[in-house]
Amino acid sequence: DPQYAWDLMPFGDVDGGPTKDLILQQQNDPQNKQYFQWSFGKRPAEELYDVNADPYQLNNLAFKPGFQDVRDELSKKLIQYLTETKDPRILGNPKIFEKATYFWSHGLETAGLPLYLWDELTEDQQRRKVDSVKWVLKNGFEK
């Protein structure tokens, strides 16, 4: 649940670190706000890049003149693949991805793991997992 991740910290579904901190601090700075948009902004429904001319994939060509045929062909291939693989988005259950268990859904007592994964660990693995999460919480970069 994205709201649950947000309640943990801003953009809680993105690992913390000095780069994330800097981007969040400078999100309204006119010279740097594009980095915030690239990192945390809403993505368009379709993206298409010329990775040879634009290796960092910053210039979305999907809606530029001359790319409609490419978009249509790729869209057709994607729908065909999603149908063949019985993807929930095609079968009418796209919300399954929005409600996927996030790391912290079960809290520190299971190191944030879903119970079905936690139960598969040995006691020693469970202890080490909780210890590592405690270390990250104590020494991490989140503010």
Q: How many residues does the chain have?
A: 143
**What is the value of pTM for the model shown?**
0.54
Phi, psi dihedral angles at 7 (to 5 degrees): -60, -30
Among 4, 41, 9, CA closest to 141? 9
List, for residues 51-62, the tens digit of each pLDDT value: 999 999 999 999
Residue 79 CA to residue 46 CA, distance in Å, equals: 13
Kindly report, residue by residue over 64-104, the tens digit of the pLDDT. Answer: 999 999 999 999 999 999 999 988 888 887 777 666 655 55
Contact (Cβ atoms closer than 8 angstroms) between residue 76 and residue 69: no
**Residue 142, pLDDT above cutoff 50:** no
Q: If residue 37 lies in a helix (H) or strand (E), which one and from where to where? A: helix 33-40
Contact (CB, 8 A) for 89 and 82: yes
Three-class SS state of 114: coil
Contact 23, 39 (CB under 8 A): yes
